[in-house]
Amino acid sequence: MGKPGFPIPSPGGRVWKGLPLKQGDGETGFSPSPSLRRGAGKAKPSRPLIGYAGYPDRLLMHAAADDEATEIELLVAELAGRIGPRRPTSAEEARAAAFVNGRLRRAGMGVSAYELRVVPRAGTTYALFAALGMAGAALAFFFPWLGLLWGLGLLAIALADAFVAPLPPLGPCRVSQNIVGTRAIAEAAGAPPLQPRWRVVVLAPLDTPPLQHGLAVLAGSGRSAALARLAAAALLVAGALGALLLPGPWWLLQGGAGLLFGLILIGAIRPLTPDPSDGGCAALAALVSAVTRLGALERAEVWAVAVGAASSDPWGVISLLRRYPFEPERTLVIALESLGAGQLVYATAEGALRSRAADALLVRLAAAADAADPHIDADPRHLTTESVLTAPLRRLGYRTLTVTAHAAPGAAPHAAPNATRLVERAARLVAGLARQIDAEP
């Protein structure tokens, strides 16, 4: 075995919450139904093929592709069917963690799990922000000076949230976990230990992302939410300043600010429902499929990380760096975000109001991997939202690339996609990208 930059967890790592796996099995007791086994019930040929000394290469390739598709179907069936929606810190998320743990072991990786204390609901901080805004609007009506100072403080918070970093989540914490799989570089027998040139870290969320629609969008991280928070704070400042300097019905601006803050508050406290398209399920399946087909590389060690409560709290990603302080210069991070439906894309830049470019090397190698494999068919795209997995890493100077799926224009929202095909394409892209990195000097 090689000498990676950090100790590689042994296959004897524990499974969180005592969820056992069957001996020699990478699944939580899952036995696939006959309907999921390709070729079940079909008659076998009664005589061998004539004219070949064994199966031709193309038949072997078709058989391998058929096996990979069947494996992906089983992965998706277990995660989406038997386990179902995985809310942050829920028992279903723990079952998914145990399942991924076993599948990474079966792929030959050393696997460990460690506990997280996270906030299980996203948007709680924006509820507090909106409540403070409503109080400021009422205060400005009677005391314009205090309302002006209050509004300037909220405007500064909204600007920092939009252009620097999202506000950290607030609220009671519950227990989740990260699953970390590692694979050292391949070495020739008898050769001295080698230091890996690159470290490839592939991330995917353990939980199901929430469905954001209606007023809940105002408590999210997208462009419209950031603009709404900025507009509400700006209206509060303008109303209070106008009331101090000029006569007029400035209470209308203050009332408009209070109304907008009220809408943000309603969106932040509404009950969240899991996204029915469950792009996190496909992302997890793509993570397992990618490292399974990848094997050991010669110059790059591979880390596969299933991040707990990724949709509600960035601590799962931040804690990974606290536990394993990777060197930013030679660590390349590939994040598998929601693969719910639509066209497979890799992000060239991300951001709601401030655009942050992806790593140039990763974008170039992703394009090369896509060109080398016609089955991938991924598009480069500028995303107007930031990845919950790569945003904390990018702010700390790490080199990142987000792989996700976007619905085609005019497509029905949350339509059931061909999950097997999309997962296969994403897994091919990640594996091809890792091989391109391995060949990079």
According to the model, what pLDDT value does residue 37 have?
Answer: 36
Question: Are the C-beta atoms of residues 399 and 342 closer than 8 Å to each other?
Answer: no
Close Cβ partners of 17 (under 8 Å, ≥ 6 residues apart): 94, 98
Q: What is the mean pLDDT of each run of 10 residues along the chain (441 residues)?
A: 44 38 37 36 37 38 59 86 90 94 94 94 91 94 92 95 88 95 77 81 93 82 88 94 85 91 92 80 93 88 95 93 92 92 90 85 96 94 89 92 78 54 93 94 83
For the entire predicted model, the pTM comes to: 0.80
The pLDDT, as a whole number, for residue 149 is 95
Specify burial of residue 111 (Cβ count, 10 A radius: 0-12, 13-18, 19+).
buried
| Rounded distance between C-alpha atoms, residue 345 and residue 377, angstroms | 9
Query: For the chain, what is the radius of gyration of the CA atoms?
Result: 25
User: What pLDDT is stored for residue 193 in this prediction?
Assistant: 64
Which residue type is seen at 401? L
Give the residue extent of every domain in the chain: 58-117+174-211+273-439, 124-168+212-269
We find that the CATH architecture of domain 58-117+174-211+273-439 is: 3-Layer(aba) Sandwich (3.40)
